Every structure is written in structure tokens, then in C-alpha cells.
Amino acid sequence: MHQAKRILLIEDNHVNRILLSDYLIYCRYEVQSLPEASNFFSTINEFQPELILLDLKLPDIDGYSLLETIQQKPQISKIPVIVVSALAFKADRERAITLGVRRYFVKPIKLSNLIVAIEEELAPHLR
């Protein structure tokens, strides 16, 4: 049996966080979820996620600021980031991609599409 892939989910909406987390666990991922970014870096060090799912609108920090900080940390910037956000403007998407985001999904999302994207990002040939 292969080791479950670890996903760090940062989502401030309680219902969205529970739904997404439960769905990912159902899809056999190991999930750690945070309601805000305050423990982000300590969680990364402890949990060692292989992928990050990030909401851009967080209560304590702007998601873009978090992405900028990630970019400055070589070890963390290697981890693929997929944004799941309510921000639907093209400028938001382009700014996130510029900051190293691999995929950008606008809420509400189709969970099956998200899983396909996660599997593609975690596929060994992309490493």
C-alpha cells in the first residue's frame, strides 16, 4: 500500500474547509487544514505537505502576501500550490500565477476537477 499524499488546506470558511477536507480524506489523501495562515510555516515544517490548497481571502493575511513569502523560501516554493478562491477576476488569477501558483480554481468548484488537478500536480513526472 502506498503512502497517502499529504495536502495542506488553508480555508477560512468552516463549512468549505470541512467539506473539502472530508472529500480529500475520502479520496485517500492525508489532510491538515488551517482556518488562517498564522500557523502556516510551522505546520509546513511539521506536516511536510506535498501540495498546498490555498484560499486567497484569509482573515489574518492576504493570500498574495502569503504567496510572496512562499516564493522567498526555496524549500517551500518547491511545493505545488493550487488556489481555490472566490476571486474570479482575470487579474487575480494572473497575479496568483505570477506568484508561482500552479492552478487556479474559482469557487464553487467541481471537486472531481480539483482531484484531477491534484493528481496531475502530484504525479512523479512533474517533480
Q: pLDDT tens for residues 67-90?
A: 999 999 999 999 999 999 998 999
DSSP class of residue 51 equals E
Alpha helix positions (H), 1-127: 14-26, 40-47, 63-71, 74-77, 90-98, 111-122
Q: Backbone phi, then psi, for 62, in 5-degree steps?
A: -70, 130
The domain 6-126 belongs to what CATH superfamily?
A: Response regulator (3.40.50.2300)
How much is the pLDDT for 124? Answer: 77
Residue 74 CB coordination number (10 Å): 7
Cα torsion angle, 90, 96, 98, 101, sign: negative
pTM (2 d.p.): 0.94
